[in-house]
Structure 1
Amino acid sequence: MLRTILPLVAMVSLGLFNLGAANAGQVALTSSASVKNDLKYLLYTPDGYEASTESYPLVIWLHGGDQGGSDIEKVKSSGIPKLIEDGKQFPFLVFSPQNPSEELLYPIEKVDSALEEVISKYRVDRSRIYVVGFSRGGFGAWALAEQFPDKFAAIVPIAGGGNRHYLNRTNEKAAFWVFHGSDDDVIPLSDSVVLYERLKTLKRNARLTVLEGVDHSGVEWATLNDAELWDWLLKQRLEEAPQ
């Protein structure tokens, strides 16, 4: 059962969770950005990308703590990359950087540097770049929104947390959808509630969904398998996107 704070508008599913097409693919890469950066990442291109000349939305996926380290294959074991490995396809690019640390938070500056490298090599619609992060990656999603506020049209932290005092740096035109499980015993629900309430005080476009009876491990999949999330996400655009 979902308890959603803020009225939600019913949306029609775009059928994102179909079996993967032959032209869609997810490859492992290492950043070669001019800033010293050896960040490893997965890059997914959707079906039809190679044959098209259009720019595509891009979703940044930030994984939880268990996928950190130096083995990029671990990133495929969870979250959006796992859905892709299982044959799902999406109508957008997916950039999935690996946190090189198994204990520390994401190196946000390196993530941004690698992101700019991806943008320079692929046809990315800069008005439709989104951040989705779970657990430690949820902390990373909040941090990206605060440190690079002019890049992202929407931010989706799942069971994450952060410092509410930095939220005044976020873009007033960006949209936030925060998810957390009511039974999370790893990162307290209150961490997301405090941040959401601060966003509302700042008059940001924000909503909070609390998944009743869901613990820390369950909230990731419950959120990512919610077709309404993807419908909502792809409607978000940054009015003054960088060129």
Structure 2
Amino acid sequence: NASDVQIYPEPGSITVEDLPEGMRKFGARLIGRIDEAGAVREPYGVLDEALELIDTKLTEQYKIDADRVYVLGHSMGGMGTFTAIYQHPDRFAAAIPSAGIFFPWLDAKRIQDVPIWIFHGDADPTVDYIGSSHPFQRLKKLKANAKFTTLKDVKHNANQYGFNYTGDDIEKGYITEYASDRVDKTDHIWDWLFRQTRSRQVEDAALNETLKGINDRFKNVDVQLVEWPAALQENLGELKRIAFMATPVEKSEGKLPLLITLHGGGGRNMSLNQQLERSAKVKGLGLSELAEKDMILLEPNTAAPFDPASLNIMLDYVLATYPDIDTNRIYVMGHSMGGRGTWTWINESADRFAAASPNGFSASYSGDAEGLARLPIWGMVGGADKPETIAGVKGMVERVREAGNQRVKYTEFPDANHAAANAAVFSSVELVDWMLGFSKVD
């Protein structure tokens, strides 16, 4: 297996040490240290020498994964960590500066895409807390990939807590803030660190450039990236690590309904960036901007057909994380593979939804349709789609009607093929209005 290298940019000679117990599974670390007591410390340590050593001797000696090189440090090492990612933002997969300083005259935009987890004790008498809190606020304005843990009443030993961090402790006042929704919320420090990769960072940079363009164009909703925590991701099957969310620019008081949109089969082989662009044009994000409704829209992404079990785990997390969602007004819709995903999900968990719209797919009729007798359902299909697709949606509607459902609708778009029907579904403000008119308490 390729080894990971964490660089501690301290002055002095370079040595390779074994990792402490409990971290050895993660590889090796490269540590710069002072050879003699009282030695003069150079301002930026031996970073260039360390990088050269990685690129030459260590690459020959070990199987170094250049995609997974990390930097962390405490106190002067914390400042050095900030300096390292500022000087070489394209070299590091992630950084952990503890009780450090990022000078205010440096451009925070250079480090906004590097995953950073900052730690600082608010009672630090040696390095002022503002040395970390101020740069975090700058990163927060940039919606950077950064998080900041304040350690209440901790002095200049934040590293003892930070480098062993396993999650917030509200009673003790150990609280983590996030600069944006794209931050990985994994709460175990080492699990978080080694989950980050340079290739992922490059992907995230492209995503954020696309995201900025979308939000510059959109006037009614604010689009965000939602990254599932590592512990959750393990239980989400083939769902990709990032989902898309749209919230109203001007939010009204009270809780908001949630509309979940499921994409079609074409999205399985797309990059997240391609999916984001497409969603803004002909999928859920575009519909949320067009509809101009007080609602939250969530679009998960998958590399395989949607699995109801994974979707239910996802929904549980979303409801626990976003308390502003009205649990009596949750809706789901999709077209093609997303239509089938909608259909299978409501067949297993009809009681979670106030209304649903499975569209453009050839339905299979397993299970008891009586479980859908009370759920409002609107099925749509293109009139020029494949005969089995048209028959599938018609059959679905007829089946739930036969089960006693009086709140069922069917729409066939004349002369519309599969792609045209998708565009019609995801531009139907009428459909959104119809779904939002229902609540589970009705």
- Do the structures match in fold with TM over 0.5? yes
| Alignment gaps of 5+ in structure 1 | 1-18
- Deviation of 1:172 after TM superposition, in Å, equals 2.7
Q: Tell me, yes or no, if the aligned pair for 2:221 and 2:288 is still in contact at 8 Å.
A: no
User: Percent identity at matched positions?
Assistant: 21
CA distance 1:63–1:48, change in 2 (3 Å): same
- Deviation of 1:34 after TM superposition, in Å, equals 8.2
The residue correspondences of 1:87-106 to structure 2 (distance < 5 A) are: 89-101=292-304, 105-106=305-306
The structure that is helix-richer by fraction is: 2
Task: Please name the residue that 2:83 is paired with.
Answer: none
The residue correspondences of 1:118-129 to structure 2 (distance < 5 A) are: 118-122=318-322, 123-129=324-330
Task: Please name the residue that 2:334 is paired with.
Answer: 133
**Structure 1 residue aligned with 2:235, among 36, 49, 57?**
36
Q: Tell me, yes or no, if the aligned pair for 1:42 and 1:96 is still in contact at 8 Å.
A: yes
Q: Tell me, yes or no, if the aligned pair for 1:35 and 1:113 is still in contact at 8 Å.
A: no
Task: Please name the residue that 1:12 is paired with.
Answer: none
Aligned residue type for 1:146: N
- Deviation of 1:229 after TM superposition, in Å, equals 1.3
Task: Please name the residue that 1:62 is paired with.
Answer: 262
CA distance 1:70–1:118, change in 2 (3 Å): farther
Higher relative contact order structure (alpha carbons within 8 Å, sequence separation ≥ 6): 1
Query: Is 1:191 the equivalent of 2:389?
Result: no
Task: Please name the residue that 1:107 is paired with.
Answer: 307
Aligned residue type for 2:265: G
Q: Tell me, yes or no, if the aligned pair for 1:156 and 1:176 is still in contact at 8 Å.
A: yes
Take 1:170 and 1:220, find their aligned partners in 2: how far apart are those partners? 27
Aligned residue type for 2:361: G
Tell me the alpha carbon deviations over residues 172-226 of structure 1, each in whole angstroms, 9 at most, x when there is no partner: 3210000001110385200111111111100112111111111100011112222
Q: Per the alignment, in what secondary structure is the counterpart of residue 173 of structure 1?
A: coil
Take 2:285 and 2:387, find their aligned partners in 1: how far apart are those partners? 22
Q: Per the alignment, in what secondary structure is the counterpart of residue 352 of structure 2?
A: coil
Tell me the alpha carbon deviations over residues 98-141 of structure 1, each in whole angstroms, 9 at most, x when there is no partner: 1122xxx2122111111111111111111110011110000000
Q: Tell me, yes or no, if the aligned pair for 2:334 and 2:357 is still in contact at 8 Å.
A: yes
Take 2:387 and 2:285, find their aligned partners in 1: how far apart are those partners? 22
Take 1:24 and 1:66, find their aligned partners in 2: how far apart are those partners? 25
CA distance 1:182–1:24, change in 2 (3 Å): same
Task: Please name the residue that 2:223 is paired with.
Answer: 25
Take 1:36 and 1:74, find their aligned partners in 2: how far apart are those partners? 25
Q: Per the alignment, in what secondary structure is the counterpart of residue 391 of structure 2?
A: helix
Take 1:217 and 1:117, find their aligned partners in 2: how far apart are those partners? 32
Aligned residues: 217
Take 1:87 and 1:227, find their aligned partners in 2: how far apart are those partners? 7
Query: Is 1:143 the equivalent of 2:341?
Result: no
Q: Per the alignment, in what secondary structure is the counterpart of residue 33 of structure 1?
A: helix
Aligned residue type for 2:235: K
Take 1:33 and 1:53, find their aligned partners in 2: how far apart are those partners? 30
Aligned residue type for 1:21: K
Tell me the alpha carbon deviations over residues 27-58 of structure 1, each in whole angstroms, 9 at most, x when there is no partner: 24225438723633112222234xx6521100
Per the normalisation by structure 2, the TM-score is 0.45
CA distance 1:172–1:93, change in 2 (3 Å): same
Tell me the alpha carbon deviations over residues 80-99 of structure 1, each in whole angstroms, 9 at most, x when there is no partner: 34516978754211111111
Task: Please name the residue that 2:108 is paired with.
Answer: none
Query: Is 1:159 the equivalent of 2:360?
Result: yes
Take 1:149 and 1:224, find their aligned partners in 2: how far apart are those partners? 22
Per the normalisation by structure 1, the TM-score is 0.79
Task: Please name the residue that 2:72 is paired with.
Answer: none
Take 2:262 and 2:308, find their aligned partners in 1: how far apart are those partners? 11
Take 2:271 and 2:341, find their aligned partners in 1: how far apart are those partners? 20
Take 1:82 and 1:34, find their aligned partners in 2: how far apart are those partners? 23
Q: Tell me, yes or no, if the aligned pair for 2:378 and 2:409 is still in contact at 8 Å.
A: yes
Aligned residue type for 1:30: W
Q: Tell me, yes or no, if the aligned pair for 1:153 and 1:173 is still in contact at 8 Å.
A: no
Aligned residue type for 1:83: G
Take 2:271 and 2:386, find their aligned partners in 1: how far apart are those partners? 28
Task: Please name the residue that 1:210 is paired with.
Answer: 412
Q: Which moved more, 1:40-49 or 1:144-153?
A: 40-49
- Supply the RMSD in Å over aligned alpha carbons: 2.6
Larger Rg: 2
Task: Please name the residue that 1:180 is paired with.
Answer: 381
Take 1:128 and 1:86, find their aligned partners in 2: how far apart are those partners? 19
Aligned residue type for 1:125: D
